[in-house]
Amino acid sequence: MLEDCLGSAVRGFCYPGGYYRRIHRLQVRSAGFDYARTTQNLRTDTGHHPFMMPTSAQFYPHAGSVFLRNFLSQRAWSSRASALRVALAEEDWLQRLHRLLDLAIAQRGVFHLWCHSVDMERLQLWTALEAFLQRVAREFAPPARLCNADLISPVRQPVAVADGADANPAQTRHEPTCSRLSIPSKNSETSGRPAAHDPASTPDDQARHRPES
């Protein structure tokens, strides 16, 4: 029904409430989805499994303790330690997102940003998101702006625009070959229900995963 309304395929899945086990990954795959996103944050890479896709951060005014709980409960600590230090060093949540974006660029990695439209409406965050994405447009040339489905495709060689450079890709100052931004497209994912506001989660196959927001 959702695909009929959108007129395009829904390729991705978000685990309802952020909870899943191995059996759920298999069910999502059997249902015909190409990937599934988790609520693990503080990652600047694409992960190792298309049905356990991690993220960098949610566009939401979380306290720093939220990132700490997510870090402790979702493991992959060596892959997330540098991002945790950045997240805990900033008190302001928007500045925290900017510093995490800086880290992804420095590591020539992936900055995976996501949000819930219901939160954006309730907290009136659309203007703040627009301002943040304007900064992203200056940093990343169009080929480097990907949706989740692109992250499971063969790796491209995109371009990231340097700090202060004009948004015009022709005026790019440096060209790291792996810096990418990922923003879930509106019609690329489906979820059974909105996630609850608790970012903590637990390792796959050991306990249930819980959402970041």
pLDDT in tens, 11-20: 999 988 778 9
Name every residue whose Cβ is closer than 8 Å to that of residue 77 and which is 6 or more positions away in sequence.
Answer: 71
The pTM assigned to this predicted structure is: 0.74
Give residue-wise pLDDT tens across range 170-211.
Answer: 333 333 333 455 655 444 455 443 333 333 333 343 334 444
Secondary structure of residue 58 in the 3-state scheme: strand
Residue 1 binned pLDDT confidence (cut-offs 50, 70, 90): confident
In the predicted model, what is the mean pLDDT of residues 67-86? 95
**Higher pLDDT pick, 155 / 95:** 95
